[in-house]
Amino acid sequence: MGKTAKISGTVTVPGDKSISHRAVMFASMAEGQSRIRGFLPAEDTLRTVGMMIALGVEIHEISPTEIRINGRGMRGFDEPQDIIDAGNSGTTIRIGCGILAAQPFVSIVTGDPYLRRRPMGRIVRPLTRMGARITGRRENTLPPLCIEGGGLRGIRYEMPVASAQVKSSILLAGLYADSPVTVIEPLPSRDHTERMLLSMGARVVREEREVTVHPAERLRPLAITVPGDISSASFFLVLAAMVPGASLCLPGVGVNPGRIGLISVLRRMGADVRFASPREEGGEPVADIVIEGRGLVATEVPPEEVPALIDEVPAICVAAAMAEGRTEIRGAAELRVKESDRIAAMVKGLSSLGVSCGEYPDGLWVKGPARITGGQRVESHGDHRIAMSLLVLSAASGVPVEVDDTACIASSFPGFPERLREVLG
């Protein structure tokens, strides 16, 4: 990777990972048959499929991106016969624990070495308050987790950190509680869970930073087409933004308001980004995203913007490396407990390529435009978003960069390197 070419054309990105995870879980809880088109068949989402199969759910592959699920109903799951392995998927274990905490049996969930280092106290605490019995390593804060579920009560829970995964876990458990459950967020996070549950007949009330879910007896099945993933699209958007004269169209991408912080940042930095043919599919806003690169200037990303772009920060760092001036991102301490410490990983990676940058406890700064120096191996730390960001920087700068581990990309975007080469011609 490393040649700059005329960047133009149309790029189709795979189905949204967040929505794919939720569709599999929620359809499994429904009564009747659900059909999911546009499903993302990546390593992480397939871990969620595996979890539901372990609970007795029948899931049939019609094609790699279309599946049929015979729901077991909210109270029809089987006790798993073995330990459930969530692999590297934080979404699988965190949201899945909300379902498992409500079941009248014992479940054990673990993951790979990376996942076993990620904090789970943030779901254990509220689910325990609701009545579940959860034990794990390091005072019940790290996987493996043993969950003895059932008999949940309603709570009002104020989250210390905005997290859609934690919110979703609590809301799913709340469907089984004896009274309503309210979650209060410090800042709004993505609302895919609320939208999907509403479409399935659940009673969900949203008021500013509060979300309340009422106990439910049943959920309607899903018939959904998953939109393209804005987080996967972000790498191509940043690539086009960094190259003056570049022009790309990304059709059918989900533009949920809780997910498009990157768009605002790129516009501030100077890119021309437009939404064409806006529409709604399955309760989610969708559009064709058109972007033209015009050269970038630095910007500041304050804490209140971070929840809407938390997964896109590595890509924003790459854009900042090619922008004029100093870009600063604060209020993003959550990045330190992702698949890697993304703050440290990006600073280390960019520094090794000649970019002036540095860390804060809750963020980082990047000064550009940098003269990228290639020819050495750069670590991805086994993190798909770090790996893809570094490949995009190589593509935009025209400087060859060897990323030590690109296999991790398959967790969210199988075929990304090939797609990138196609765009570069």
- In the numeric block, the tokens 């059709």 are attached to 251
Q: Quick one: pLDDT at residue 208?
A: 86
Does residue 4 have a pLDDT over 80? Answer: no
For residue 2, is pLDDT > 80? no
- Quote the CA–CA distance of 210 and 183 in Å, as a whole number: 6
- Inter-residue contact 262 to 287 (CB < 8 Å): no
Phi and psi at 191, nearest 5°, equal -115, 30
Give the count of beta carbons closer than 10 Å to the beta carbon of residue 334.
Answer: 17
Whole-number average pLDDT of the chain: 97
Res 51 pLDDT > 80: yes
**Closest by Cα among 6, 3, 11, 12 to 293:** 6
| CATH 3.40.50.300 describes domain 227-424 | no
The CATH architecture assigned to 17-225 reads: Alpha-beta prism (3.65)
Task: Indicate the angle between helix axes 43-54 and 90-100, nearest 10 degrees.
Answer: 20
For residue 123, count other CB atoms closer than 10 A to its CB.
27
pLDDT by residue (tens digit) across 143-170?
999 999 999 999 999 999 999 999 999 9
- Active site amino acids: 311
Domain boundaries, the chain: 17-225, 227-424
Phi-psi region of 53 (alpha: psi -120 to 50; beta: other; left: phi over 0): alpha
**Of the candidates 207, 183, 86, which has an alpha carbon nearest to the alpha carbon of residue 129?**
183
pLDDT in tens, 330-379: 999 999 999 999 999 999 999 999 999 999 999 999 999 999 998 889 99
Identical fold, 17-225 and 227-424: yes
